[in-house]
Amino acid sequence: MRTPLFTLILSAIAAALYLSFRFIDNDYLFFAGYVVLQYVVIATAWNVLGGYCGYVNFGSAGFFAIGVYSTIFFYNIGQSPGDVFPEFLLGPMQWIFPLPLPVLILLGGVFAGLVGLGMGYLTLRLRGVFFAIATLALAVVLETFIVNWPFVGGSRGAYVIPPEKIAVFGTFIQYLFVLMLILAVGSLVAARLVERSRLGVGFATIRDDELAAEASGVPTLRLKLVATVLSGALFGMAGAPFPFYIGYVEPGSAFNLSYAVNAIAMPMIGGTTSWIGPMVGALILSTLQQVVTVTISSAVNLLITGLLLIGFVILAPNGLVGLWQGWTARRNKS
Amino acid sequence: MSQIMGEPVTETFDDVAEPLLAIDQLGKRFGGFVALDTVDLSVPAGQRLGLIGPNGSGKSTLVNCISGTLQNETGSVMFGGRRVDGLPAHQRARLGLARSFQLPRPFRSMTVAENIRVPLIYTVGARHGVHLTSSELEDRCLEVLSLVALQDKAKKSPLDLTQVEMRKLELARAMAAEPKLLIADESMAGLSHSEVEDIVALLIRMNQRGVTIIMIEHIMRAVMAFSQRLVVLVSGRKIADGAPDEVIKDKDVVGAYLGT
C-alpha cells in the first residue's frame, strides 16, 4: 500500500473513532482514549530505536519528561512574560505568548530530539546492556536537573490550568484527544515509512550485525543518530500535552517508571519488527490498564504489565505479530 | 627472497607504479601485544594474492586494518591512490574495498536476496548517487546470487543455508558492492574437499571479472591453486613475499610452520 493511501485510511479510522466517541458523548472515553493513544505514540517511539535498530532504551521516561517540562517552561513564560523578558522585548513576546498547544508539542519534539542527538552521540559506541544502563542514567540525570530547577516547579511541581471550554471541540479534553489522535496517526505513518525505506533496511542491518553493516557500506553511526533523534522527538511530542491533561506535574509523575516499563513492554508484547506491533501492544495493554484501573485498582496496572511482559518474553519472544506470522506461515504450508 | 627470521621484508614482489593497495609501515597493538609490526604490502590491480601465516600471526588484524573494522596506529593504507586509514569502514566500502568475514555474518532477519540488497543500496547506490528502482534491485540481486549459484535460495532465510552456502552468501554480499579489491578472510575453513574447489573456482571467476583479490587461507591446496603471489605473516611481520612455489620452500616459512 502506498503511503498516501495508508495515511488516508488511518486518518479515516481515527476520524471515525473520534466521531463515535462524540456520539456516545461521555468525557471519560476521551480521558481514557487520550492515555491509550499516548501509549501508541510512546510505544512507536521506543520501537524506532529498540525494535528497528536493536538498541534498548530504558530512559524513555526521561524523553517523555523533556516534552512535559518543555511545555511547563513555555507555559510559565506565558503566565508572566514581564518577569522573563526585558522591556523592549515585552511587546512582541506578549503577542507570541502564550503559545498554542500544537506549537508546544512541536517544541517538545525539538528539545527531546536534540537530547536524543546528544545522548546518541555520547552513548551509541556502547553496545547492548551498557547502552541500556547509560539511557537509564540519562533519565536520572534529567530528573535531578528538573528537581533543582525552580522555574519549572522543582520538586514542588507545577500547575497548568487548561481552559474549560474551547471552540469547535467543546470540552478541552476533546481537543487534547484529537491532538493525540493526530500524533498517533503521524507517528504510525512515520514508523511505517521508515520501515519500508532505505533507512529501515539500514536500521535492520544495525540490529542484525553492525560490523557486517559497515562492511556493506551502511553508515551505522549516522543512522543510529537518526534513530535516536526520531525516537526522542516522538517521545517528546507524546509528553508535551501531558501537563494540560493532568493539570499538575511533579518530577515523580513525569519521570514515572511506568513510562519506561510500558514503552518496552508494549512493543515486546505486540512485536518489534514492524509498526503494527507497538500499536497493537499499546492498544491492548493500555486499554486493559484503563479497564483495570476503573474496575479493580490503579495499583494493579504495572503488575499486569509486568506479568504479561514476562509471559511474552518466555512464550512468544516475537510478540503477537510473531505469533500471527507463525500461524499464517503454518496455515499456508498445510 | 629469503630473509633472516624476524626481519620484516620491505621490498615487494611486484613493483608497479600505481598499486591498487599500498600499505606502508602498518602497525597495530592490542595493549602490550604487537599484532602488526611495520607491515609493508603493495598489491597491483588484478592480482590474486594469497596471505598465509600461523594462527595469531596478524592476518585478520591486517584485514581489519585495511577494511576499517580496526584502525591502525602507525603507518598508512593507500587505496586507489587515496589515503584511507582513519576513514570509517563504510566509506572504504564505498571506495571499492570489500571483505568477507571469517565467520559468516549474514543479516539474520532478512532473506538471502535482502542481504544482497544492502550493499546494492548502501554501497553501489551511494557511490553513484543514484538509487536503483525496486525491480532493478531485484534483478541485480538475482544476478549476483546466480554468480554463486544461490539464486534458488533467494527467498530463504540465511539461517536455513548450509555452511558452504553461507560462505557463498558472504562472498556474494561482498561482490554485490562491485569492489575493486575483495578480501576473502578464511572463506573455506571447515569445508569439504569439493566445496573448497567450488569456492576457489568462484574466486578465480571473480578475479577474471577484474576484481583484485586477497585470499587469507589455511588450506594450502586452495592457496596454491589460487595465488599468483604469496605473502607470509608471522607474529605480525611479513617474512616472505613472492611466487607461491618459491615462498613455500623458503626456510623461514618452513621454520615458522614446523617450528624448526
Q: What is the mean pLDDT of residues A210-215?
A: 93
Q: Could you give all domains of chain B from N- to C-terminal order, each with its CATH number?
A: 21-105+180-258 (3.40.50.300)
Distance from the A117 Cα atom to the nearest Cα atom in chain B, whole angstroms: 20
- Contact between residue A245 and residue A34 where contact means Cβ atoms under 8 Å apart: yes
Contact B105 A207 (CB under 8 A): no
**Nearest beta carbon to residue A205 from set B68, B69, B118:** B118
Q: How many residues does chain B have?
A: 260
State the smallest CA–CA distance between residue B15 and chain A in angstroms.
Answer: 29
Please name the residue of chain B whose CA is at the shortest distance from the CA of residue A219: B90
Chain B residues whose CB is inside 8 A of the A221 CB are: 88
Instruction: Answer yes or no: are the C-beta atoms of A151 and A158 closer than 8 Å.
Output: no
Residue B71 has pLDDT above 60, yes or no: yes
* The amino acid at B143: E
Question: Does residue B260 surpass a pLDDT of 80?
Answer: no
Whole-number pLDDT of residue B5: 42
- Are the beta carbons of B67 and A220 separated by less than 8 Å? no
Distance CA A29, CA A154 (A): 32
pLDDT, chain B, mean: 87
Which backbone phi and psi does B103 adopt, to 5 degrees? -100, 125
Burial of B130 (0-12, 13-18, 19+ CB in 10 A): exposed
Determine, for residues A217 and B123 on separate chains, whether the beta-carbon distance falls below 8 Å.
yes
Q: Which residues contact B247 (CB under 8 A, 6 or more apart)?
A: B1, B230, B231, B232, B240, B241, B253
- Work out the minimum CA distance from B99 to partner chain A, whole angstroms: 7
Q: What is the pLDDT of residue B3?
A: 40
Across the range B24-36, mean pLDDT stands at: 89
pLDDT at A307: 87
Asked if B106 and A201 come within 8 Å (Cβ–Cβ), the reply is no
**A-chain residue closest to B179, CA distance:** A216
* A198, A207, A215 member nearest B109 (Cβ): A207
pLDDT at residue B6 in the model: 43
Check pLDDT > 80 for residue A73.
Answer: yes
| Residue among A205, A217, A273 minimizing CB distance to B93 | A217
β-pairing, A248-249 vs A158-159, is antiparallel
State how far the Cα of A251 lies from the Cα of A142, in Å rounded to an integer: 10
Nearest to B66 by CA among B107, B24, B105, B104: B24
CB contact under 8 A, A218 and B90: yes
Tell whether ipTM is more than 0.90: no
pLDDT bucket at A278, cuts 50 / 70 / 90: very high
Judging contacts by C-beta atoms under 8 Å, the chain B residues touching residue A319 are: none
Interchain contact, A216 vs B118, CB within 8 Å: yes
Instruction: Pick A70 or A97 by higher pLDDT.
Output: A70
Q: Which residue has the higher pLDDT, A91 or A309?
A: A309
Say yes or no for a CB contact (<8 Å) between A215 and B99. yes
Across A294-302, average pLDDT: 80
**What confidence score (pLDDT) does residue B10 get?**
45
Minimum-distance CB partner of A204 among B90, B99, B110:
B110
C-alpha distance across the termini of chain B, in Å: 19
Instruction: Tell me the one-letter amino acid at A199.
Output: L
Distances (CA, A) of A276 to A47, A220, A305, B96: 11, 25, 19, 38
| Interchain contact, B88 vs A219, CB within 8 Å | yes
pLDDT of residue B9: 45
Predicted confidence band of residue B16 (pLDDT cuts 50, 70, 90): very low
CA distance A280 to chain B (A): 21
Of residues A262 and B12, more confidence is placed in A262
- B107 and A198: CB-CB below 8 Å? no
Residue from the list B93, B101, B107 with its beta carbon closest to the beta carbon of A208: B107
| Contact across the interface for B101 and A212, Cβ inside 8 Å | yes
Q: Convert the pLDDT of each residue in B208-217 to its tens digit.
A: 989 999 999 9
Give which of A35, A192, A120, B191 is closest to B171, Cα–Cα. B191
For chain A, which residues lie within 8 Å of any Cβ of chain B, measuring from their own Cβ? 198, 201-202, 204-205, 207-209, 211-221, 273
B257 touches chain A (CB under 8 A): no
- B12 pLDDT exceeds 70? no
Contact A216 B110 (CB under 8 A): no
Q: What is the pLDDT of residue A301?
A: 77
Question: Least CA distance to B102: which residue of chain A?
Answer: A212
Is A88 a residue whose pLDDT tops 70?
A: yes
Is the Cβ pair B109, A201 closer than 8 Å? no
Please write the tens of the pLDDT for every residue from A123-175: 877 877 888 899 999 999 999 999 999 999 988 999 998 887 887 788 899 99
pLDDT at position A17 over 50: yes
Minimal CA separation from B90 to chain A, in Å: 4
Under 8 Å CB pairs connecting chains A and B tally to 81
**For the segment B101-155, what is each residue's pLDDT rounded down to a tens digit?**
988 999 999 999 999 999 999 998 888 877 788 888 889 999 999 888 898 998 9
Contact A208 B108 (CB under 8 A): yes
Q: Which residues of A275-306 are buried (b: 16+ CB within 10 A; e: fewer)?
A: bbbbbbbbbbbbeebbebeeeeeeeebbeebe
Average pLDDT, chain A: 91
Which residues from A are below 8 Å from B132, CB to CB? none
Contacts of A208 in chain B (CB under 8 A): 106-110
Is the pLDDT at B15 greater than 70? The verdict is no
pTM of the model: 0.89
Has residue B7 got a pLDDT over 60? Answer: no
Nearest to B94 among A198, A204, A217 (CB): A217
Q: What is the pLDDT of residue A332?
A: 82
The DSSP annotation for A60-102 comes to HHHHHHHHHHHHHHHHHHHH-HHHHS-HHHHHHHHHHPSPPHH
Least confident of A43-47, A206-210, A329-333, B215-219: A329-333
CA–CA distance, A218 with A207 (Å, rounded to integer): 12
Q: Where are the domains of chain A?
A: 3-256
pLDDT at residue B17 in the model: 58
